A and B are shown apart, each in its own frame.
Chain A
Amino acid sequence: MPNRKQIKNKDIAVTGQYLGVIEEYISNEQSTYVKEGQIFATKTGMISIDDKKRQIEIETHQEKDRKTVKIGDIVIGTVVFLRKFSIGITFNTINQKIHFNSSYFGNTHVSQISNKYIDKINDAFQITDIIRAKVTKKSANEYTLSTVGKNFGVVHADCSICGTELNKIGHDKLKCDFCGNIEKRKLALDYGNVAHKLRF
């Protein structure tokens, strides 16, 4: 029973309200849905129309309580798989809040690890490393992540021989104080200074 009324920017839209046709606007997947060429609201909130891009979306007051992943988010996760050309990561934080046993999963391809050349994946990450990454794409139920950039990469790592925490000794080198083992990683700038205690 949509009410076909002309909408304006900053109007209040209610769940299920008719917003326009697909020739008028590009719909936002998070807060609108398209049925037979017509756009409807899926959330209650303020309408925001980008006149240049012709994009329409609905702003809600719940944005700070969001518990789902959006493209462009920065997440912290644990490396659980090392493959020949990619790694698998389970997310530990979503929207800057800790999630335990979260069901979200992401992959990073070798080409998306760093700007520099990486010969083997083992030179950049190891299993059980905790890394910070950016969400770039969603494919099926899994997300594609990228660690290109100074702020992205390993924020916590354990020695692969004895399991004690590693200390930073160079821009891409870590040393174990207990057994003297030296390892190579793609490090974030704030390695070892992350406030969240993610492992327990």
Chain B
Amino acid sequence: MVLLIKDEYPEKLFQENGKRLDGRDKKELRPIKMEVDVLKNADGSAYIEWGNNKIFAAVFGPREVHPHHLSKPDKGILRVFYRMATYSVFDRKRPAPGRREKEISMIIADCLEPVLFLELYPGTAFEIFIQVIDADGGTRCASTTVASLALADAGIPMKSLVTALAVGKIDGELVVDLSGIEDKAGEADLPIAITWFNDEISLLQFDGEMDLSELDTVLKDAKEAAKKIYEIQVNTLKNKYISIQNNIEKEKGGED
């Protein structure tokens, strides 16, 4: 028996009490949990749970470039491999990298490049492998956030961390952090990545319709929400070093 499920979206994206379908306010983020140093063989790695999104990122580098002709004599290159697991979405996703994955890999590389000092590593490659285990809207933003965390965990010099999130418009209201249904059924979707060393936007995509005045307010909302995510990133990195410091002190105490 063939099971057919139609792409049906709910008529209203807001509940009667003014909250969103998953019970959030307009400017409320989904629950975020981050971890670093989760994969043993990678130079640096990170894991994120952002609502229903579950994403791993691993960083290798600086290392040799294969094929060798891609290497540049004056600077290093950054390569990103964004892949989705076959079971990450409702319909089975074909495992071969498709058009969408190649494009998202490219935009993640483009928005992480300004914070790296690639000119310090001529002839080498930095490689980021992003594996989406579970997807529910905003995976490109979550991937950028977790990739920058993995780069920092690998000890690669960076100007600052990068934080990304999606804002948009659903049912005529401006909201922050769109989920999967809101992304598909909403009016506008606007992924943004922010680099903190000069508070500049390094990624801005736009899909849908929105006024210019609305764009201004939604960008302000995005920056405020991104600050909350940035604090989680910073605390995750700090906690790792606090545990390393505690371990060193324990070992010293044991020797005495």
Q: Is the CB of B238 within 8 A of A16?
A: no
- In Å, the complex CA distance between A141 and B159 comes to 21
Q: Is the CB of A45 within 8 A of B241?
A: yes
Name the B residues within 8 Å of A30 (CB-CB). Answer: 157
**Which residue numbers of A lie inside 8 Å of B, CB to CB?**
1-2, 12, 14-16, 30-31, 33, 35, 40, 42-46, 60-62, 65, 67-68, 99-104, 141
Q: Is the CB of A46 within 8 A of B227?
A: no
Interface residues of B in 106-122 (CB under 8 A from A): 117, 120-122
Name the A residues within 8 Å of B197 (CB-CB). Answer: 16, 35, 40
Q: How far is the CB of A68 from chain B (nearest CB, A)?
A: 6
- In Å, the complex CA distance between A189 and B242 comes to 44
Given known contacts A14-B237, A103-B123, A62 and B74 CB-to-CB distance under 8 angstroms = no
Say what secondary structure dominates the interface of chain A: loop
Q: How far is the CB of A98 from chain B (nearest CB, A)?
A: 12
Given known contacts A68-B62, A101-B68, A15 and B161 CB-to-CB distance under 8 angstroms = yes
- In Å, the complex CA distance between A46 and B241 comes to 8
Closest residue of A by beta carbon distance from B37 = A61
- In Å, the complex CA distance between A67 and B155 comes to 11
Closest residue of A by beta carbon distance from B68 = A101
Given known contacts A45-B241, A102-B64, A16 and B123 CB-to-CB distance under 8 angstroms = no
Given known contacts A16-B196, A103-B71, A68 and B121 CB-to-CB distance under 8 angstroms = yes
Q: Is the CB of B71 within 8 A of A44?
A: no
Residue in A12, A31, A62, A101 whose beta carbon sits within 8 Å of that of B242 in the complex: A12
Q: Is the CB of B73 within 8 A of A141?
A: yes
Interface residues of B in 75-99 (CB under 8 A from A): none
Q: Is the CB of B64 within 8 A of A16?
A: no
B14 at the interface (CB under 8 A from A): no
Name the B residues within 8 Å of A67 (CB-CB). Answer: 61-63
Name the A residues within 8 Å of B74 (CB-CB). Answer: 141
- The total number of A-B Cβ pairs within 8 Å is 83
Q: Is the CB of A14 within 8 A of B234?
A: yes
- In Å, the complex CA distance between A33 and B115 comes to 12
Given known contacts A42-B117, A46-B241, A65-B43, A16 and B157 CB-to-CB distance under 8 angstroms = no
Interface residues of B in 136-163 (CB under 8 A from A): 152-161
Q: Is the CB of A62 within 8 A of B154?
A: yes
Closest residue of A by beta carbon distance from B64 = A101
- In Å, the complex CA distance between A101 and B156 comes to 22
Closest residue of A by beta carbon distance from B195 = A16
Q: Is the CB of B73 within 8 A of A43?
A: no
23 contacts between A and B (CB under 8 A): A2-B196, A12-B238, A12-B245, A14-B152, A14-B238, A16-B158, A16-B159, A16-B161, A30-B157, A33-B159, A40-B160, A43-B158, A44-B152, A44-B155, A44-B237, A45-B241, A65-B43, A68-B121, A101-B68, A102-B64, A103-B71, A141-B122, A141-B123
Interface residues of B in 238-256 (CB under 8 A from A): 238, 240-242, 244-245
Residue in A1, A15, A99, A104 whose beta carbon sits within 8 Å of that of B158 in the complex: A15
Q: Is the CB of B64 within 8 A of A44?
A: no
Smallest CB-CB A-B distances: 8 pairs: A103-B123, A16-B160, A62-B155, A42-B157, A15-B152, A12-B241, A141-B122, A60-B155
B124 at the interface (CB under 8 A from A): yes
Given known contacts A35-B197, A68-B121, A101-B68, A42 and B241 CB-to-CB distance under 8 angstroms = no
Closest residue of A by beta carbon distance from B154 = A62
- In Å, the complex CA distance between A68 and B73 comes to 15
Q: Is the CB of B241 within 8 A of A43?
A: no
Name the B residues within 8 Å of A2 (CB-CB). Answer: 196
Interface residues of B in 38-82 (CB under 8 A from A): 43, 61-64, 68, 71, 73-74
**Among the interface residues B68, B155, B199, which one has the most CB atoms of the partner chain A within 10 A?**
B155
- In Å, the complex CA distance between A28 and B155 comes to 15
Name the B residues within 8 Å of A45 (CB-CB). Answer: 155, 241
- In Å, the complex CA distance between A90 and B158 comes to 28
Name the A residues within 8 Å of B240 (CB-CB). Answer: 44
Name the B residues within 8 Å of A46 (CB-CB). Answer: 241, 245
